[in-house]
Amino acid sequence: MSEHVTVPKAELHCHIEGAAAPSLVARLADHYQIDVSAIIDGNGKYVWSDFTSFLETYDLASNVFKTPADYSLLSETYFRMLAAEGAIYGEVFISPDHAQSAGLSYASYVEGLAAGIERAKIDTGIEGRMIAIGVRHFGAAAVERVAREVIANPHPMVTGFGLAGDERDGHPANFARAFRMAGEAGLGLTAHAGEFGGPDSITAALDFLQVKRLGHGVRAIEEKDLIRRLVDEKIVLETCPGSNIALGVYSVLRFHPVNILRQEGVRITLNSDDPPFFGTTLGREYSSVSKTFGLSEADQIAITRTALEAAFCDEAARNRLMVRLDSAVTPAV
Ligand code: ADE
Ligand code: ZN
């Protein structure tokens, strides 16, 4: 294979509101006459200093997306950018609570986002799906409300249900009913755990939420038995190393456990989480992790294969994506 071939990539963990460039947020803020000077500085960068202030800035930035057209612009822009970096598949977390506080119904929010993803697909071929998330620090009732809304308004591109927000808040048992409902409705399940919480938080997410994927999950490195469990149960980690460095979970990339987990046999994927907040992109995650830990192109392709295997999409789409992955990596004769 030529060195110039772009490794086909796939992303499972990116918050769509967290993918909004500050320039887009500033433009919409101007249009709606919303003051965003507290969250975007004079250099056009988001202002935050720790996880709590990041979540606050994120909430305020989300508030400038008001209409389905605003959301379709956001998703089209993001999926085009992913495709330009060589991605063939992307899943984004969508947050009905954020749409609601911006004054949009769940159905219009999803339709707007879906239209943007479809437009990007027509031009670039990238396939996309959405995972509706409940926000942990909004409490169990709010998370159950999201589950009910998603189940009552099925959309072919909303294929998963998840839990994000502040992991330091609320035991996973509180969200067991929401996850049971979502699972019974056929949605794929994932939860953030092992980012700001340690191994106990991961164990509880696995025990109470029946998830086969974990957002982050990297702090499993702190407990050998848990690493074994992840391997045995074939749990897929949606790791976001750049996000973890930006938020101070690890000091520098070479101290990040992603490669040790991979070598131990844990199924890992690479993801950007909230790219402009953390100065990253999916392409940068693949290249910085590969450079730091010496991953070959074959290693990177194996990571994309893991993501496609774990993707919350139908089997026909998965098969098409696998064909694209295989054909992109078949050496020219
Ligand atoms: N929401 C947006 N980004 C998040 C993160 N990194 N962790 C938890 N919730 C989030
Ligand atoms: Zn996340």
Same domain, 218 and 264: yes
The total domain count for the chain is 2
Residue 50: inside a domain: yes
On whether the pTM is more than 0.85, the answer is: yes
In which domain, by residue range, is 113 found?
9-14+68-329
Write down how long the chain is.
333
Q: What is the mean pLDDT of residues 65-86?
A: 98
CA–CA separation, 33 and 166 (whole Å): 30
Q: Ligand 1 pocket: which of 93, 137, 192, 280 to mutate (most atoms <8 Å of CB)?
A: 192
Residue 302: inside a domain: yes
Condensed to tens digits (0 to 9), the pLDDT of residues 137-163 reads: 999 999 999 999 999 999 999 999 999
Whether the per-residue pLDDT at 41 is higher than 80: the answer is: yes
Same domain, 164 and 255: yes
Domain CATH number, residue 98: 3.20.20.140
Same domain, 48 and 75: no
Distance 134 CA to ligand 2 centre (A): 12
Q: Which atom of ligand 1 is nearest to the CA of 18?
A: 2
Would you please indicate which residues are annotated as catalytic (active-site) residues? 195
Residue 1: inside a domain: no
273 lines ligand 1 (CB under 6 A): yes
Same domain, 257 and 118: yes
Residue 188: inside a domain: yes
Confidence band of 4 (pLDDT split at 50, 70, 90)? very low
Distance 164 CA to ligand 1 centre (A): 6
Whether the per-residue pLDDT at 1 is higher than 80: the answer is: no
Same domain, 183 and 152: yes
Residue 100: inside a domain: yes
Same domain, 48 and 140: no
Same domain, 165 and 42: no
Same domain, 158 and 248: yes
Residue 259, C-beta contacts closer than 8 angstroms, at least 6 positions apart? 289, 292, 293, 295
Q: Which two tokens stand for residue 137?
A: 């620090």
Q: What is the mean pLDDT of residues 187-216?
A: 98
Is there a contact between 239 and 269 (Cβ–Cβ < 8 Å)?
yes
Residue 35: inside a domain: yes
Least confident of 12-16, 98-102, 281-285: 98-102
Distance 297 CA to ligand 2 centre (A): 26
Q: Which atom of ligand 1 is nearest to the CA of 196?
A: 7
Ligand lying closest to the C-alpha of residue 274: 1
Residue 38: inside a domain: yes
Same domain, 87 and 25: no
